[in-house]
Amino acid sequence: MLQSNLVDVMVLTVEAAATLAFAVSGMLEAARKRLDPVGVCVVAGLAAFGGGTLRDILLDRRPFFWVAHATWLWVLLVACIGAMAWLKVRHVVLTHRAMQWPDALGLGLFSASGTQLAMLQGMPAIVAVLMGVITAVFGGVLRDIVCNEIPSAFADHKPYAVCAFVGGWALLGLQYLHVPDGLALLLAAAVTFGLRLWAMQTNFHLPGWDTGH
């Protein structure tokens, strides 16, 4: 029972950190697009909660994680307002690359927590890993769509969902080797985060669709 409670706390902590990271990525992208305060809050919320909500729907988990922990909604609103005020005072120049760093961190954390939550519900390994990918990717997809962009997860050809997929299998592999659950979560998140950073730094690209023309 103690071990189970410890895992629950670790998953919740990782989810909270991932939510914050994706909220920051949403705020930066919305601010870069010069949206109004409502737009900034909506985009940040979609980025932060979109992937986890879809995961909870598919796994039939009730209440949704942001409903069960409604304090996060207040944190999101306060963070958005504070960030907008700070950015305006500091006259920070926002770039797409600035958004990619918290996005990569959220990708790693959500891929690990999503996979772990699915495993705790007894899902087969491949289903659990795909739930981790959905948790990690879907919030960013919603963020980009609302900001009138083709989702970077599909269009920039740099490994994104692939990184989350590898990180999910890394988590299962570490658990198979009996690595403590909390450490396994962090290491798996680091694998995804590290792969995404490597792709960004080296400009590594996956092959695009070739029509043959």
Evaluate whether 24 touches 98 at the Cβ level (below 8 Å): no
Poorest-pLDDT segment among 20-34, 79-93, 121-135, 188-202 = 79-93
Kindly tell me the sign of the dihedral angle through the C-alpha atoms of 47, 49, 53, 56. Answer: positive
Which residues have CB under 8 Å from 165's CB, separation 6+? 111, 129, 130, 132, 133
Q: Which of 60, 48, 66 is nearest to 109 (CA)?
A: 48
Q: Cα–Cα distance between 4 and 205 in angstroms, integer?
A: 40
How confident is the model over 121-160, as pLDDT tens digits?
A: 889 999 999 999 999 999 888 888 888 887 877 777 778 8
What distance in Å separates the CA atoms of residue 136 and residue 140, rounded to the nearest whole number? 8
> What is the identity of the amino acid at 191?
V
Q: How far apart are the first and last CA of the chain?
A: 61
Interval 90-116: pLDDT, tens: 665 566 666 778 888 889 988 998 999
- pLDDT bucket at 189, cuts 50 / 70 / 90: very high
Rounded to two decimals, what is the model's pTM?
0.83
